[in-house]
Structure 1
Amino acid sequence: MTKPLVIKIGGAILENESALQALLSVIATLKQHSVVLVHGGGCVVDEMLSQANMTTEKKHGLRVTPKDQINIISGALAGTVNKAIVAKANSMKLAAVGLSLNDGDMVNCQLSPLALGQVGVPSCNNSKLLDGLLSSGFLPVISSIGALDNGDLVNVNADDAAVVICQLLNAQLLLLTDVNGVKGSDGEYLPSLNQAQADELIEQGIIAGGMTAKVNAALKAANQLRRSIAVASWQSPEQISLLLDGQGIGTQIAPN
C-alpha cells in the first residue's frame, strides 16, 4: 500500500484562489495516493488581528500568541481559512473534511518552552480518525490549532503541525512555500540540505525568519522518519507527481 502524502500549505497560496485551485486539481488526479492537507494562514490572522487593533509579534520565525489573541487566531485558522479550503475542495468534488489537530484526539500539545504565549508543541496520539477518513476516500484538511490537556486552545506552527500528522500516518511530507526551496550562501536553490549545512546557514543569517522554522521542522521529520522531506514551491503543483514517483523536487531536507 502506498504511503499517504501530507502537504502543508500556507502564506500566499491561501490569498491566491487560482493557485489553490491548481493545487487541488493536481490532488484530484492522484487516484492511487491518499492526501492530507495541513494549513496555516498567517496572512488572514494578521488581517484579523489588525482589524481588532492588536499587534503581531514573531520570535525565531514563530508567532507569539498572547492569551487575548488565541480566540481570534483559532477563529481565523480553524474557522475562516479551514472552511474556505474545504468549500473550494468540495466544489471540485474532492470530499474534503475540515479538522483541527485535537479532533479525534489525533494530536497532543504541550505549551512551548520558548515563552511564546498560547503556542503548542505537538506530539502524535491517535490516527484512528484519519485512518478512517482516508480509507473512505475523504480529503482531510487540518488547521494548525491544537489543545492542551486541560482543553485550552493553542496555536501550533503549521510546519510543525504538518510534521506531526506525517509522523502519525508514517506518510510522505511536502512543505509548500512561496519559493522553489532553500537558498544557499551563493543565492542559488539547494538540491539538498542536511543538519550541519542548515546550522551554518542559520548562523550566517542566510536561512532566516519563517524559513528557519520550516527547515527545523523538516529536519525533525527527516530524522524521525529516516527519509528526505521536500521543501518546494506551490507555484509548480504539477511537480507533486514527480515527488510521488521518487524524484527530487525543490530542496530535499536529508536525515542525519
Structure 2
Amino acid sequence: MGISENETAQVLVHALPYIQQYNNKTIVVKYGGNAMVSGELKDAVMTDLVLLSLVGIRVVLVHGGGPEITDMLKKVGKESRFVGGLRYTDRETMDIVQMVLGGKVNKDLVLSLQHKGGRALGLCGLDGGMIEAERMFADGTDLGQVGQVTNVDVTPINDALEHGYIPVVATMGAGRDGKVYNINADTAAARIAAALGAEKLILLTDIRGLLRDKNDENTLIPVVNVSEVPNLIRQGIISGGMIPKIDCCVEAVRRGVNRAHIIDGRRPHSILVEMFSDGGIGTMFL
C-alpha cells in the first residue's frame, strides 16, 4: 500500500533540515560488495546518489570490483590468490584489474547513474595524476602490483563536481616507477574524502555496522569516537576484516573528514536513511 499525500509531505519536511545542512557539501561513497552484485540494491544506490546530487550535495562515488575481477580471471583460467585479504596482483592480473575496474565496472556505473537522470563522469586514479602509489608489502610479504597511496590530487574530481557531474572513481594508482598499482577501494575512498575536505565518508558494506557481538546483529554500536578504536581492537570487538575498514574511517576523520560511516549496503536506500534521518543507520565514527 502506498503512503498518503500527508505522509509524503511529512517525509519531505523532515528531510529539509538535512538537505539544507548538506547543501554544497561533499560526500564520498565507497561502493562494493553485495550492493554491487544485486540488481535491486544497485538500482537503489544509483537512485540515492542521483537524488543527493539533484538536491545540491556534491557526490563522489569510489568503487571496487572484486567479484567482477575474480570472474574475469576465471574466464582466462587464472586463479585468484589473496594475501592477508589483499589480492596478489602480478602483471597479468594487473592488466585484468585495469581492464575490468577502469573499463567495464566504471562505465557500467556511469551508465546506471545517467539512466537514473544523473550526470556522471568516469575517472580512475591514473587520470590527471589523481592517485600516486608505491609498492606495498604486507608484513614483509610481496603482493605484486598492490600499492599504497602516497599522494592524492583531487583536481580532476573537483573539476567534474564544478561542472555538475558525479565523479565515478576506479581505484588504481600510478607509481613513480611507471607501474600501475591496484589500490584497496576503502583506503582510496578515505584518502580522497580527506583531500576533498568531505563532510562524510560512507562505506557500504555487507553488515549492519560495528557489532559488539559479531554473531548478533542486534548489538550494533551506533557511534564510535576514533580514540576508542584501539581499545575496541584489544577487546576483540573490532577484528578480522573489520580492522582495515575501521582503520580507513579513523584515518579519514583524523585527516579532517567530519564523519565516517559504515552502513549496511544490503538495505535498499540505506544512504538516504543515513543522510536524511535523525537516527541514521550503521556505525558513525567521529
Fold similarity call, TM over 0.5:
yes
- Provide Cα deviations, 1:77-124, integer angstroms capped at 9, x if missing partner: 111211111111122221111111121222211111322211111144
1:1-256 matched pairs, under 5 angstroms: 2-30=24-52, 31-114=55-138, 115-171=142-198, 172-185=200-213, 187=216, 188-194=219-225, 198-199=229-230, 202=233, 207-225=238-256, 227-236=258-267, 238-244=269-275, 247=278, 248-254=280-286
The answer to whether the 8 A contact 1:38-1:158 is kept is yes
Identical aligned pairs, as a percentage?
31
Looking at structure 2, the residues matched to 96 and 211 of structure 1 have their Cα atoms a distance apart, in angstroms, of 30
Residue 60 of structure 1 and its aligned partner are, at CA, apart by 3.0
Residue 226 of structure 1 and its aligned partner are, at CA, apart by 5.8
Residue 63 of structure 1 and its aligned partner are, at CA, apart by 2.0
Alignment-derived partner of residue 13 in structure 2: none
Kindly provide the amino acid, as one letter, of the partner of residue 181 in structure 1.
Answer: G
Looking at structure 1, the residues matched to 151 and 274 of structure 2 have their Cα atoms a distance apart, in angstroms, of 25
Looking at structure 2, the residues matched to 243 and 61 of structure 1 have their Cα atoms a distance apart, in angstroms, of 28
- Provide Cα deviations, 1:6-55, integer angstroms capped at 9, x if missing partner: 00001122211221111111122222201010000111111111222222
Q: Which has the larger radius of gyration?
A: 2
The answer to whether the 8 A contact 2:35-2:204 is kept is no
Looking at structure 1, the residues matched to 120 and 257 of structure 2 have their Cα atoms a distance apart, in angstroms, of 30
The answer to whether the 8 A contact 1:181-1:231 is kept is yes
Kindly provide the amino acid, as one letter, of the partner of residue 177 in structure 1.
Answer: T
Q: 1:212 to 1:64 in 2, by over 3 A?
A: farther
The answer to whether the 8 A contact 2:121-2:168 is kept is yes
Looking at structure 2, the residues matched to 130 and 224 of structure 1 have their Cα atoms a distance apart, in angstroms, of 18
The answer to whether the 8 A contact 2:34-2:266 is kept is no
Question: What are structure 1's unaligned runs of at least 5 residues?
Answer: none
Q: Which moved more, 1:59-68 or 1:141-150?
A: 59-68
CA root-mean-square deviation: 2.3
Q: 1:139 to 1:119 in 2, by over 3 A?
A: same
Looking at structure 2, the residues matched to 104 and 234 of structure 1 have their Cα atoms a distance apart, in angstroms, of 30
Alignment-derived partner of residue 19 in structure 2: none
Q: 1:78 to 1:243 in 2, by over 3 A?
A: same
Looking at structure 2, the residues matched to 205 and 50 of structure 1 have their Cα atoms a distance apart, in angstroms, of 35
Q: How many residues align?
A: 254
